[in-house]
Amino acid sequence: MAIGVGGCCAVLLAAALLFSSPATTYAYDSLDPNGNITIKWDVMQWTPDGYAAVVTLSNYQQFRHIQPPGWQLGWTWQQKEVIWSMYGAQAIEQGDCSMSKEGSNVPHSCKKHPTVVDLLPGAPIDLQIANCCKAGSLSAFSQDPANSAASFQIIVGHSGNSNETVRVPKNFSLMAPGPGYTCSRAMIVKPSRFLSPDGRRATQVLMTWNVICTYSQFLAQKVPSCCVSLSSFDNDKTVDCPTCSCGCRNEKSTTGKCVKKNAPDLQSIIHGPGRW
Ligand SMILES: *[C@@H]1O[C@H](CO)[C@@H](O)[C@H](O)[C@H]1NC(C)=O
Ligand SMILES: *[C@@H]1O[C@H](CO)[C@@H](O)[C@H](O)[C@H]1NC(C)=O
Ligand SMILES: *[C@@H]1O[C@H](CO)[C@@H](O)[C@H](O)[C@H]1NC(C)=O
């Protein structure tokens, strides 16, 4: 461990508090820089007023499991879409469906910003689909690939129903279950392909879009992180923090400094009235 020069053996701990503002945060986790949770929407079928899609969440992180009560996925519809029905997950609120004119057919959710949660393992069979109903848990892919993904099916109405007219949802959010993740915008990608079990036939879905969510400690913690550095008793400089001990907020940072040299917070600790 790096300890500042100085003759005295008494070692003081100088804790430089970092006051981070989450407003301009890069979602970046220094311990798993490439980790992400990918949310894939596969449109399986166009319907008279929308589409049926299978949504799959995959936890491509090194070590961060998501445990019950688990993930909560939210988004904003771009038009007047409704969710007719869902299998393998559910919207936590139905919202106001009084504008719906489809007679006795009441949508599962009419929220503009629906929030969806996983079903429990014991959910009724007719509400389950393959790979669903894990109470919101998602293991890290590198540790338990079999349990690192979860799927649900969603039937969307009052929506475009072709690849030219559909409007992909936006403003995705992922709570797992607390804050920490930021999600990209939905990106239309090559339609997913699936191989038949015997591997002799490949099928592909009608349209696919992806959302990539990444984790940042700076979003997860409201309380500022603490950066600890060591200094000897008679040395009036603190030693630089070890690289990324605070979780580096800027991927491009090569210096690994936790705070800028002249940051007022640090100056007040070094030169302030309470100086040791
Ligand atoms: C997300 O993780 C997957 C699997 O590790 C990787 O292939 C992909 O490039 C990552 N995406 C981004 C945008 O980091
Ligand atoms: C929609 O699908 C047609 C036919 O499959 C394809 O030629 C066209 O490029 C697609 N358009 C978009 C915006 O993906
Ligand atoms: C984004 O979603 C949140 C809730 O999920 C909502 O409060 C906010 O208004 C949305 N923003 C936009 C621009 O739709």
Q: What is the pTM of this model?
A: 0.73
Which residue do the tokens 């014991």 mark?
Answer: 122
Residues of the chain with CATH 2.60.40.290: 37-220
Rg of the chain, C-alpha, whole Å: 24
Could you tell me the pLDDT band of residue 71, with boundaries at 50, 70 and 90? very high
Strand-pair partners of 37? 59, 213
Please tell me the distance between residue 27's alpha carbon and the centre of ligand 3 in angstroms: 18
Min mean pLDDT across 4-8, 197-201, 244-248 is at 4-8
Looking at per-residue confidence, does 267 or 176 come out higher? 176
Residues of the chain with pLDDT > 70, as a percent, come to 69
Q: Write the Ramachandran bin of 197: left for phi over 0, alpha for psi from -120 to 50, otherwise beta.
A: alpha
Q: What is the pLDDT of residue 21?
A: 35
How far apart, in whole angstroms, are the C-alpha atoms of residue 169 and residue 163? 14
Structural contact between residues 208 and 43, judged by C-beta atoms closer than 8 angstroms: yes
Mean pLDDT of 108-129: 96
Please tell me the distance between residue 37's alpha carbon and the centre of ligand 1 in angstroms: 8
Identify which ligand lies nearest to the alpha carbon of 165.
2
Q: What is the pLDDT of residue 238?
A: 52
Fold category of 37-220 in CATH: Immunoglobulin-like (2.60.40)
Q: What is the pLDDT of residue 127?
A: 95
Confidence check: pLDDT of 178 > 90: no
3-state class (DSSP) for residue 24? helix
Please tell me the distance between residue 170's alpha carbon and the centre of ligand 2 in angstroms: 21
3-state class (DSSP) for residue 174? strand
| Atom nearest to 36 CA in ligand 1 | 1
28-56 residue pLDDT tens? 677 788 899 999 999 999 999 999 999 99
Residues of the chain with pLDDT > 90, as a percent, come to 58
Identify which ligand lies nearest to the alpha carbon of 145.
1
